[in-house]
Chain A
């Protein structure tokens, strides 16, 4: 029934009741009663008109909604009456729900939402062994000979940021390009938003001079202001004209899925048949399963296939295809951390509910009389329960509105954390499912924190409520065990969170403490690849000499060298062997290859362990030399001195020096074997990165380097000035992210728990004013009272801490995979958290305890 008809019916009913009542009155008067007596008699005969009206209105179908609106109105009136505690309740509910919704958005984007590709469930990540790339020759054979996949596609894993130089129109700029196979976009089901994908001809050109490129949406928007007319134009890339054939859609976030933290500007075709492309394990492969094929069956097939390929082509690198569903590959690493965050948020919400429950109970305490009166006037228990629950849900919904604002701000902030290499972070936002989650959280928490006080308040016997409401004493006992329970559980939950946060914080500090093998502080790097093509090795070497001399002349620079790859950034691996050794094919030593100039080790701060480092004298004309790290030296020549030995590389290179291991994969993984080749003796590298060590803050160097190097190449863009510390920060950022959020939650939990204990103790001191007054009148001094209150507090806190410690002990095993350099059952962490909690509890209880100890016996007794 629509509301206007209800309004009309209500008016009609009013009129009917009034006219009938008047008639009754008239009849009474006609019987000879005075008009006043007649009115009373009529009302007596009629009964409670309000009740009659309500009961009649209840026959109309919308009545429940109306009474709901009434409850709401009543609830809001109640909130207004008690502004302070309402604001406080909304604030903590808002913070709790805001945190929960933000974390849910992250979980939704990273774990729940499907990847932004066609049928993402069919996509499989195929790595070589644990996490290496595959040779393109193997890729071609695997693609042609397998039965499980409808297609395999790949991209070059050797790309690195700033690979290509854009000159010509506008500011020169270094672009990050990814070479992809021609079928890469069709396989993912991604069609360009404008233009087309690569043609077959375009995928068979030259590696160094791609004929066509696709722009990423963000680059197109940034550089060309979303101008669709750029499609079809040619840009100058590394001094070669390259045609823009299309723009990829905004939804395609290559970096977000495959290379978190490295924004990609353009995609170029990867000519697999061109021999000038980089050699070795360079390709990252994804495949689309045929309908009906499973990852297990495909794994079995590719394993057999790879064995056959290896025996057919002994000249190639070994290949061990390892299949993982793409979704797991993308988010698998962050999954445990996200699960921990989700649990943390759940715990925070429980604490929020416990806190609000206690608050609500205190508010209800003052309304006992009101409830008793209402029930005396005929309100049933169910009706009162509904009223109280409506109020608490209204409160939590107000909190949810605030929480939603926080979540919107929070997700915006997270989505722009480009320095964090977490997958899909840019797609974190508040969407429909977040809204649904927030609403659900609001209602669930409203019921959760409202139910217990509602049950308690409505359980009272009516008469008792009416008589009792004025007195202070007996409410306390009823409220007592429940309030104590709430505080103890808040403390236990906060303890669990604090232990978790402390363990992860400790791990994070341990990670930061790891000796990376190089010193990132005061080191910075810059791409200096010449914008022109270097025709000969002699010219290449004079370019290197020139660049190094100029860089070393810049004031503030203490060392400079050139490298093709930086630590923590990119990998290229080759098989290596000691001369005269025969290796089992399946266990052939492999090493990461770094092409470096003299000065590199000094600039990065990598320690020389024995022999000498490269010098300017190691050139094309001199003896072929090589340097190895300690792991490779141990692997190839166990128990011997590596210096002076010969590796099989390039027909034999002499080892001149051994350097310390570098954690190239990040602080948490060990380095592995590394081999360094002198840059002046090879041309097989994809980038030239100047690495400098400076006495000044690295950021202040950019301008000096720009002027210093300008004569080398007037187009040299110096935007890509990168500090090594920034590189390290990026690698540890997922851990920092987790620690940041978790510490935030733990801090919030601690605050709530201490507020809870403060509220409980204040309340009980208020309740016991008279009792304390009597005790003091009987001779207890203020010290005894103070100690008594603090002892009660400590008992509660210890109970909570004991429970919490047990729970953390059971739960911390879950954290094991996220810990580094510490154990789940770390006694220092557990005792530290316990001490902190007790100290905070005592601090929170101190104020009310002092108030108790200052009670004037006379005054306290007089208040009764």
Chain B
């Protein structure tokens, strides 16, 4: 595969992620506290491996969310392994943010859908 083609594919996958990664993380944490690895794995699995989790985006995003007070972190021992991991937990502020981002995303998706599949709406 030429390097050009590879790059394009990568952009396709992650381009979607750019604006919405924060939202996906917050949504994932709605199930309960999780550490970075779990969050990444979860997003990857749920999207059937379509969203390859880039660690280079995940960790900065986690710390950005923490900086804004949407999540808090704590070192805790994992139930299945006898080791400490850094667990992120959704705050009340984060829950509100998730609602806001979700509704924005919905509006966006609907707007895009109206342009893309006008017939579908008529029927």
- Check if A51 is an interface residue, CB within 8 A of chain B: yes
Mask: chain A, 77-110; 1 = CB below 8 Å from B; 0 = not: 0000000000000000000000000000000000
Is B6 among interface residues, defined by CB-CB distance under 8 A? no
Contacts of B67 in A (CB 8 A): 59-60
Check: A24 CB closer than 8 A to any chain B CB.
yes
Task: Confirm or deny: A16 has a beta carbon within 8 angstroms of a beta carbon on chain B.
Answer: yes
Question: Considering only CB atoms, which chain B residue lies closest to A12 in the complex?
Answer: B86
CB distance from A45 to the nearest CB of B (A): 8
Q: Is the CB of A51 within 8 A of B35?
A: no
**Residues of B with C-beta under 8 A to A46:** 55
Q: Which A residues from 551 to 572 make CB contacts under 8 A with B?
A: none
Map CB proximity to B onto A2-28 as digits: 1 under 8 Å, 0 otherwise: 000000000011011101101110100
Residues of B within 8 A of A60 (CB): 63, 67
Q: Which A residues lie within 8 Å of B63 (CB)? A: 13, 56, 59-60
B85 touches A19 (CB 8 A): yes
Q: Chain A's nearest CB lies how many Å from the CB of B72?
A: 13
* B36 close to chain A: CB less than 8 A: yes
| Contact with B56, one of A15, A26, A47 (Cβ below 8 angstroms) | A47
> Which of B37, B56, B60, B64 is in CB contact (< 8 Å) with A20?
B37
Are A17 and B59 in contact, with the CB atoms below 8 A? yes
Chain A positions 20-59 with a Cβ under 8 Å from a chain B Cβ: 20, 22-24, 26, 46-48, 51-52, 55-56, 58-59
User: B37 to A55, Cβ gap below 8 A?
Assistant: no
Q: B residues within 8 A CB of A15?
A: 86
Q: Are B86 and A48 in contact, CB atoms less than 8 angstroms apart?
A: no
- Per-residue 0/1 for B44-55: is the Cβ within 8 Å of any A Cβ (1 yes, 0 no)? 000000000011
B96 to chain A, nearest CB (A): 21
Residues of A within 8 Å of B55, CB to CB, are 46-47, 52
* Cβ contact within 8 Å between A16 and B86: yes
A60 to B59, CA, bound (A): 12
Q: Compute how far the CA of A58 lies from the CA of B85 in the bound complex, rounded to whole angstroms.
A: 22
In the bound complex, CA of A12 to CA of B73 (Å): 11
Question: Residues of A within 8 Å of B, CB-based: how many?
Answer: 21
Interface contact B86-A23, CB-CB below 8 Å = no
Evaluate contact between B60 and A23: CB separation under 8 angstroms.
Answer: no
Given contacts A26-B81, A59-B63, A59-B64, contact A19 B56 (CB under 8 A): no
For the complex, count residues of B whose C-beta is within 8 A of A. Answer: 17
Max chain A Cβ within 10 angstroms of own Cβ: one of B54, B59, B85, B86: B59
B64 touches A19 (CB 8 A): no
Bound CA–CA A16/B67 (angstroms): 16
> Which of B35, B60, B81, B86 is close to A58, meaning CB atoms less than 8 Å apart?
B60
Decide: A47 near B36, CB < 8 A? Known: A15-B86, A19-B85, A56-B60: no
The answer to whether A19 and B59 touch across the interface, beta carbons within 8 angstroms, is: no
How many Å lie between the Cα of A179 and that of B50 in the bound state? 98
The answer on a CB contact under 8 Å between B85 and A20 is yes
Chain A residue contacts of B64, Cβ below 8 A? 59
- A24 with B37, Cβ < 8 A, contacts A59-B63, A59-B64, A59-B67 known: yes
A13-B59, A19-B84, A23-B85 as given contacts; A47 in contact with B37, CB under 8 Å:
no
Q: Which residues of B contact A19 (CB under 8 A)?
A: 35, 83-86
* Distance, CA A24 to CA B55, complexed state (A): 12
Known contacts A19-B86, A20-B37, A23-B37; is A55 also within 8 Å of B54 by CB?
A: no
Question: Distance in Å from the Cβ of A359 to the closest Cβ of chain B?
Answer: 38
Give, as a whole number of angstroms, the nearest-CB distance from B121 to chain A: 41
Residue A59 contacts which of B60, B81, B83, B86 (CB distance < 8 angstroms)? Answer: B60
Given contacts A15-B86, A16-B36, whether A55 and B59 have CB atoms under 8 Å apart is yes
Contacts of A56 in B (CB 8 A): 59-60, 63
Cα separation A198 to B42 with both chains bound (whole Å): 94
Residues facing A in B31-83 (CB within 8 A) are: 35-37, 54-57, 59-60, 63-64, 67, 81, 83
- How far, in whole Å, are A612 and B54 apart by their CA atoms in the complex? 110
CB distance from B74 to the nearest CB of A (A): 11
Query: Which residues does chain A contribute within 8 Å of B35, judged by CB atoms?
Result: 16, 19-20, 23
Nearest CB of chain B from residue A562's CB, rounded to whole Å: 90
Nearest residue (CB) in B for A19 is B85
A60 to B57, CA, bound (A): 15
Q: How far is the CA of A52 from the CA of B54 in the complex (A)?
A: 9
State whether A52 and B86 are in contact (beta carbons under 8 Å apart), knowing that A20-B36, A20-B37, A24-B37 are contacts in the complex: no
A565 vs B55: C-alpha distance when bound (angstroms): 92
> Across the two chains, which residue of chain A brings its CB closest to B59?
A56
- Central interface residue in B35, B54, B55, by most chain A CB within 10 Å: B55
Residues of B within 8 A of A13 (CB): 59, 63
B81 & A23 in contact (Cβ 8 Å cutoff):
yes
Shortest distance between the CB of A322 and any CB in chain B (Å): 71
User: B79 to chain A: closest CB distance in Å?
Assistant: 13
The reply to whether A51 and B37 contact each other, CB–CB distance below 8 Å, is no
The interface residues of chain A lying within 8 Å CB-to-CB of B59 are: 13, 16-17, 52, 55-56
- Of residues 77 through 112 on chain B, the ones whose CB sits less than 8 Å from some CB of chain A are 81, 83-86
Which single residue of chain A is at the shortest CB-CB distance from B86? A16
Question: A13-B59, A20-B35, A59-B64 are known contacts. Are A47 and B54 too (CB-CB below 8 A)?
Answer: yes
A contact residues around B56 at 8 Å (CB) = 47-48, 51-52, 55
Cα-based distance from A795 to B84 in the complex (angstroms): 73
Cβ contacts under 8 Å, B37 to chain A: 20, 23-24
In the complex, A341 Cα to B54 Cα: how many Å? Answer: 61
Residue of A nearest to B52 (CB): A45
Determine the distance from Cα of A16 to Cα of B59 in the docked complex, in whole angstroms.
Answer: 9
Q: How far is the CA of A48 from the CA of B57 in the complex (A)?
A: 12
Cα distance A820–B60 when bound, in Å?
A: 72
Least distance between A429 CB and chain B CB atoms (Å): 49
Query: Chain A contacts of B86 at CB under 8 A?
Result: 12, 15-16, 19
Distance in angstroms between the alpha carbons of A66 and B35 in the assembled complex: 27
Q: How far is the CB of A38 from chain B (nearest CB, A)?
A: 15
From residue B54, how far is it (CB to closest CB) to chain A in Å? 7
B60, B64, B83, B84 pick with most chain A CB within 10 angstroms:
B60
Which one of B36, B56, B83 has the highest number of Cβ atoms from chain A below 10 Å of its Cβ? B56
How near does chain A come to B38, taking the closest CB pair, in angstroms?
Answer: 9
**Whole-angstrom CA separation of A51 from B59 in the bound complex:** 11
Q: B58 — nearest CB in chain A belongs to which residue?
A: A52
List chain B residues, Cβ under 8 A from A20. 35-37, 85
User: Once bound together, how far apart are the Cα atoms of A13 and B63, in whole Å?
Assistant: 9
A46–B41 CA distance with the chains assembled, in angstroms: 11
The closest CB in chain A to the CB of B37 belongs to A20
Q: How far is the CA of A3 from the CA of B10 in the complex (A)?
A: 36
CA distance A12 to B83 in the complex (A): 15
Q: Which residues does chain A contribute within 8 Å of B60, judged by CB atoms?
A: 52, 55-56, 58-59
Contacts of A55 in B (CB 8 A): 56-57, 59-60
A16 and B54 CA atoms in complex are apart in Å by 16
Tell me the minimal C-beta distance from A371 to chain B in angstroms: 21
Q: A26 — which chain B residues lie within 8 A by C-beta?
A: 81
Residues of the A chain whose Cβ atoms lie less than 8 Å from the Cβ of B54: 47
Chain A residues whose C-beta falls within 8 Å of the C-beta of B84 in the assembled complex = 19
What's the nearest-Cβ distance from chain B to residue A695, in Å? Answer: 91
What's the Cα separation between A19 and B75 when bound, in Å? Answer: 11
Query: How distant is A25 from chain B, measured CB to nearest CB, in Å?
Result: 11
Tell me the complex Cα distance, A330–B35, Å: 76
- Cα separation A22 to B36 with both chains bound (whole Å): 12
- Shortest C-beta distance, A120 to chain B (Å), equals 55
Extra 14 A-B pairs, beta carbons < 8 Å, given A47-B56, A59-B60: A12-B86, A13-B63, A16-B35, A16-B85, A23-B37, A23-B81, A23-B83, A24-B37, A26-B81, A52-B60, A56-B59, A59-B63, A59-B67, A60-B63
Q: List residues of chain B with CB under 8 Å of any chain A CB.
A: 35-37, 54-57, 59-60, 63-64, 67, 81, 83-86
What are 19 A-B pairs at a CB distance below 8 A? A13-B59, A13-B63, A16-B35, A16-B59, A17-B59, A19-B84, A20-B36, A20-B37, A23-B37, A23-B81, A23-B83, A23-B85, A47-B55, A52-B56, A55-B56, A55-B57, A55-B60, A56-B60, A60-B67
Question: Nearest 6 CB-CB pairs, A to B?
Answer: A20-B37, A16-B86, A56-B59, A56-B60, A55-B60, A52-B56
